[in-house]
Amino acid sequence: MSANVTVLGLGSMGTALAGAFLSAGHRTTVWNRTPGKAGALVAKGAAEALDPAAAVTASELVVVCLATYGSVHEVLEPVADGLAGRTLVNLTSGTPEEARETAAWAAAHGAEYLDGGIMTTPPGIGNPEFMLLYSGERAVFDVRRPVLAALGDPVHLGADAGLASLYDTALLGLMWSTLTGWLHGAALVGADGGEKATAFTEVADRWMKAVGFFMNTYAPQVDAGTYPGDDATLDVHAAAIEHLVHASEARGIASGLPEIFRDLTRRGIEAGHGRDSWARLVELVREDGRK
């Protein structure tokens, strides 16, 4: 069923969001601080609002995607009274603290609030293979889910408005770590005989499935605080990491990653946990964060 949706902010991502709503048949109103960005969307059927007040009052669902949370407040503060009875979905990148503050601000003005994290780049918007993370009241999410599904697979994380931002940040850290490891691996296998990155990636894709299995094996250990080394101990990992350090140094491949792995594993072993699983290292990560 079609709904009235407003999109505030027409950067690359905001434009993709509005386009996905239009493609799904929703009556879409758009607004952007800098004029001239709505032409292509208007040609597809969007209505362009002259100001934020008109944009907000046009729809029961208001989606905002701006550069910062500060920008969100700059745009919405003057029209806050118009948000009463509407649902504000904030897809702006920021911190969990900013998300919680904005949720409280929206509630004070009579608006329902969902905070979101977009786990793709603009070309992926509208593809159900990509997730969009949401946090806020489950009842609000359930009502708005059919419309939000136009953007990608909607995943609800919990009532705490800061969860989407927290997950978003953590998952980006995982992505950057993985991609940097992949770059290191591609450089390493290409160093001897010019092995292509595409050939390495074909094998790496299969290996990542095993990595997912390892994460699912270790997650209950992290939650329980017990780390049986019945698959591979830190001692075993440490020996393998030395091979990675040697192979990298011998070929002049210097990303810094092997040294991070070696130093963290050594610390775990020196603390008396050599017979524990890799998951034990979460305790060191937590300790470092508290220093």
Cα 30 → chain centroid: 24
Q: Are residues 214 and 115 in the same domain?
A: no
Number of separate domains in the chain? 2
Quote the CA–CA distance of 291 and 28 in Å, as a whole number. Answer: 49
Given a contact cutoff of 8 angstroms between Cβ atoms, the answer to whether 135 and 163 are in contact is: yes
Quote the pLDDT of residue 24. 98
Given a contact cutoff of 8 angstroms between Cβ atoms, the answer to whether 135 and 156 are in contact is: yes
Domain with 44 in it:
4-162
Q: Are residues 156 and 208 in the same domain?
A: no
Report pTM: 0.93
Q: Are residues 117 and 216 in the same domain?
A: no
Backbone angles phi, psi at 95, to 5 degrees: -100, 160
| Mean pLDDT rounded to a whole number for the chain | 96
Quote the CA–CA distance of 149 and 78 in Å, as a whole number. Answer: 30
- For the chain, helix (H) and strand (E) counts, in that order, are 11, 8
Quote the pLDDT of residue 52. 97
As given in the structure block, the two tokens for residue 177 are: 């770590």
Q: What is the CATH number of the domain that holds 286?
A: 1.10.1040.10
For the segment 263-268, the average pLDDT, to the nearest whole number, is: 97
Q: What is the CATH number of the domain that holds 153?
A: 3.40.50.720
Predicted confidence band of residue 35 (pLDDT cuts 50, 70, 90) = confident
For residue 288, pLDDT over 90 is answered with no
Higher pLDDT, 111 or 36: 111
Q: Are residues 19 and 139 in the same domain?
A: yes
Q: Are residues 158 and 213 in the same domain?
A: no
For residue 291, pLDDT over 70 is answered with no
For 156-204, write each residue's pLDDT tens digit: 999 999 999 999 999 999 999 999 999 999 999 999 998 999 999 999 9
For residue 287, pLDDT over 90 is answered with no
Pairing between β-strand 27-31 and β-strand 47-48 as defined by DSSP bridges? parallel
User: How many Cβ atoms from other residues are within 10 Å of residue 146's Cβ?
Assistant: 12
For 157-169, write each residue's pLDDT tens digit: 999 999 999 999 9
Quote the CA–CA distance of 251 and 259 in Å, as a whole number. Answer: 15
36 inside domain: yes
57 inside domain: yes
As given in the structure block, the two tokens for residue 83 are: 């948000």
